Amino acid sequence: MVAPAALDFQGSSVDLARALIGAVLLVDGVGGRIVETEAYDAEDPASHSHRGPDARNASMFGPPGHAYVYRSYGIHWCLNLVCREAGHGAGVLIRALEPTEGLDRMRTRRGPVVDLLLCAGPGRVGQALGITPAHDGLPLDRAPFELRPAALRADVVVGPRIGISKAQEMPWRFGLRGSRFVSRRFP
DNA sequence: AGAACGATTAACT
DNA sequence: GTTAATCGTTCTG
């Protein structure tokens, strides 16, 4: 019997990003197993919270255990889970899921793509789960969110983050080893 | 005020 | 491998 890895929203975003691999995330009953995450922090030049609180990133400076939703490239809605003490500005970007529940609704939202690409990337996760600005700032421990920690400690691989120009060398992207549902392979 | 830039994706060569 | 789409935020003058 192995104790479930509890999700600690009070700790660092790097620790939470690692612990989230293998956890199950649902929004209105639609979602799956988290297979890829990235950590961001106020001391991190690549983070939206680096310049301090503003209208867009306010949720990152709100209470831990809540959602931070932002618009990416004017097109996509991406979901983060806020951690650390309120006011700090740290969070974890959900980059990919292995779809397990609500497949039909995901296929309707995502259009004609193979199931492997339903949630392989932060923008795709947002679209498949129906994430909107209305989810920004909502608590993760009640509807429409459902978050279940991984039953066993997952086999996690680490690598540099994707799509950033600052602090590219920081190994703050985490994935489930061998998963075919990640947005990109790990070296 | 205007230009440049994204925590991206889909389509194309 | 390259590139267009698309729009709020940030940088520059």
Which residues 65-124 on A are within 7 A of strand B at the CB atom? 68, 70, 72-76, 78, 80, 91, 93, 110, 113, 117, 121-124
Residue A119's nearest CA partner among A132, A131, A128 is A128
The residues close to strand C, meaning Cβ under 7 A, are A 51, 54-56, 71, 73-75
Task: Answer whether residue A34 is part of any domain.
Answer: yes
Domain count, chain A: 1
Q: Protein A18 CA to nucleic acid B3 C1', in Å?
A: 39
Q: A21 near A90, Cβ under 8 Å?
A: no
C-alpha span between A129 and A13 (Å, rounded)? 22
- Domain containing A54 — which CATH number? 3.10.300.10
**Cα A129 from chain centroid (whole Å):** 12
Task: Give the type of residue at A60.
Answer: M
What does the radius of gyration of chain A's CA atoms come to, in whole angstroms? 15
Task: Answer whether residue A186 is part of any domain.
Answer: no
Per the structure, the complete domain to which residue A104 belongs is given by: 13-176
pLDDT tens for each residue of A18-41: 999 999 999 999 999 999 999 999
pLDDT tens for each residue of A73-101: 999 999 999 999 999 999 999 999 999 99
Task: Give the type of residue at A158.
Answer: V
